[in-house]
Structures are given as C-alpha cells and as structure tokens.
C-alpha cells in the first residue's frame, strides 16, 4: 500500500509492497520487492553451488 | 574469515573471470561530492554546482551513507537543512553487482543514479545511469561483437 | 589451531606472507577468488595441504560465507 493508499504489487512475485525497492519512486511502472531485487541483482545470492570436492 | 561474499561485498580486489567484467563498483564515480549532516544546504548546493555535479551523498566521518541529495532535494527550501532535504536511507547496491544488471534496472526504473556501498554501508561511489548503460553496451559489444551500421 | 578472522586481518596476514586457500568448487574459484588464492577441495584439503602449502607460514582458508 503506498502512502496514497494504493495497493501495489511486485511485478515479479506479486507480493504486496509499499513502494518499488529499487527506485523508491511512487508510480514506478515495474515495482519490485526487496527479495526479488536482491536476487535479480545477485546481491544476496545463496551459496551457488553445493560444498564439497 | 566471513567468506568470499563478504570480501566481494566490501569492494575489495578479486581475480577470476568475473573480475574482468565491469561491475557496479568499477563504474561508480568515486569523485561524487559528499557532505555531512551538519553542513548548510546552501553551501553544499554551491559546492555541488561548482563541481559540475547534480547529486551529493550524505555520509558520516566513516563514509557510511545516510542519505542522498539529487537535484530536486538540492533545490529545495534551504531552511530545511541537510537532514530535512535529503532522501534518507536510499537503496544502495554492492560493488560486485554486474553492470549489465544495474544498467537494465536503472533504465527500466528511470533511475538517474544509485549509491554503491560496501556491506558495511560505506560509500564506494555513485553509479550514474549513463555510465552504467555505456559500460553495459561496451561489454556487450566486446563479448558479442558490435552490430553493423556503426562507424 | 584454526581461528575465525575478519577481512582486515586477512589483509594484514596476506601482506605478511600468509597463504590463501579457497575450498569452493573449481568453477566458483575460476569466477571469483581473493587475489593470490589457490584452490583446494575441502574433501582433499588435508591430503593436498601437506604438499601444496608451506607450514611455516600462516594459512587462511575461506569459503563462500560464514555459515
């Protein structure tokens, strides 16, 4: 829900969000939630490969 | 040691195939003006203009990012002071994020600039959309060859 | 005796001649690694360390994160 009371959803996972976490601008045409953003940008990549030899 | 992720997130040098590709930390402008919370907004605005920039990052003495002043904020009512005018807690991105991803996001979201910080929140630089797009295009041309029609 | 250290300590040790060992799989090592690090499989670390590492110098072993 934005400050204006409009519900917005992440363009990727459709989770309800207050604002686009990338640009933080109201009226963003492709709002994205924090989780989807860090994943898309590789900022918080879970261990990419299993451990071991 | 915390691990390779912590090292990369701190913007420290690395080797390997990924190290040869430009990333947000490489392309971010290190010369972005910075200011402290206790400075006068008018002084900061003048300094930013003189440096021919249109943005300033608000940091503390350890370069931890507190906020961002872009053109609209810099032109606002001077009585507000830095803390009142700035965009607090802006979205920041790690130095190792690929420049292609950052460029795509910045273009898609029409974002002019983004602070690049370490995992400690310390400023590495300000990534400008035009720089990100240029670096991404150069990388694409390098890896895939430039398309015909350009001289 | 192994002990956890932070990245500032890693830099100090490496400046002083410590050996860096990454135990992640080879393809990850090829993509990104700390400067000067060598790659050793965790499974074969003990066996390979005997021949590949100088026991008279500190050895810093790292993985992806602290988990």
pLDDT tens-digit profile of C23-50? Answer: 988 888 998 899 999 999 888 888 888 8
pLDDT in tens, A17-28: 888 989 988 889
pLDDT tops 50 at residue A30? yes
Average pLDDT, stretch B14-40? 91
Residue C31: inside a domain: yes
Q: If we measure between CA atoms, which residue out of A26, A48, A8, A32 comes closest to residue B104? A: A32
pLDDT in tens, B59-89: 999 999 999 999 989 988 888 889 999 999 8
Q: What is the CATH number of the domain that holds B88?
A: 3.10.580.10
Q: What is the CATH number of the domain that holds C31?
A: 3.40.250.10
Chain C nearest C-alpha distance from B12 (Å)? 9
* DSSP assignment of B4-55: HHHHHHTT---BSTGGGS-BHHHHSBTT--EE-TTS-HHHHHHHHHHTT-SE
Contacts with A53 from chain C: Cβ below 8 Å: 25, 41-44
Report ipTM for this prediction. Answer: 0.90
Contact between A52 and C65 using a beta-carbon 8 Å cutoff: no
pLDDT in tens, B100-148: 999 999 999 999 999 999 888 999 999 999 999 999 999 888 888 765 5
Contact between A23 and B91 using a beta-carbon 8 Å cutoff: yes
Tokens of B76: 């606002």
Residue B75: inside a domain: yes
Range of the domain at B125: 4-144
- Identify the bridge partners of residue B58 per DSSP, sorted by sequence position: B35, B67
pLDDT tops 70 at residue B150? no
Contact between B4 and C30 using a beta-carbon 8 Å cutoff: no
Residue C2: inside a domain: no
Domain positions in chain A are 1-48
Residue B150: inside a domain: no
Domains in chain B, number: 1
Range of the domain at C20: 7-62
Name the residue among C28, C43, C65 with its Cβ closest to that of A53: C43
The pairing of beta strand A8-9 with beta strand A16-17: antiparallel
pLDDT tops 90 at residue B37? yes
Q: What is the pLDDT of residue C67?
A: 55
């Amino acid at each position: 829900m934005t400050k204006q009371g409009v519900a917005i959803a992440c363009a990727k996972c459709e989770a309800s969000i207050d604002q686009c976490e990338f640009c933080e601008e109201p009226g963003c045409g492709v709002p994205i939630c924090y989780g989807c953003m860090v994943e898309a940008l590789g900022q918080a990549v879970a261990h990419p490969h299993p451990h071991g030899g | 040691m915390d691990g390779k992720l912590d090292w990369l997130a701190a913007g420290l040098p690395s080797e390997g195939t990924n190290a040869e590709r430009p990333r947000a930390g490489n392309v971010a402008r290190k010369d972005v003006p910075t200011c402290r919370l206790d400075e006068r907004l008018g002084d900061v605005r003048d300094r930013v203009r003189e440096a021919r920039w249109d943005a300033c990052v608000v940091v503390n003495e350890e370069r931890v990012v507190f906020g961002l002043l872009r053109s609209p904020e810099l032109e606002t009512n001077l009585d507000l002071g830095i803390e009142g005018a700035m965009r607090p807690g802006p979205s920041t991105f790690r130095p190792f994020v690929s420049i292609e991803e950052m460029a795509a996001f910045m273009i898609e979201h029409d974002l002019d600039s983004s602070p690049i910080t370490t995992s400690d929140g310390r400023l590495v630089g300000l990534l400008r959309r035009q720089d990100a797009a240029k670096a991404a295009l150069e990388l694409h041309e390098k890896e895939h060859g430039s398309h015909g029609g350009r001289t | 005796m192994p002990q956890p250290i932070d990245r500032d300590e890693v830099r100090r040790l490496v400046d002083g001649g410590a050996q860096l060992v990454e135990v992640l799989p080879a393809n990850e090592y090829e993509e990104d690694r700390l400067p000067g690090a060598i790659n050793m499989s965790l499974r074969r670390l003990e066996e390979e360390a005997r021949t590949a590492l100088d026991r008279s110098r500190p050895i810093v072993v790292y993985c992806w994160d602290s988990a």
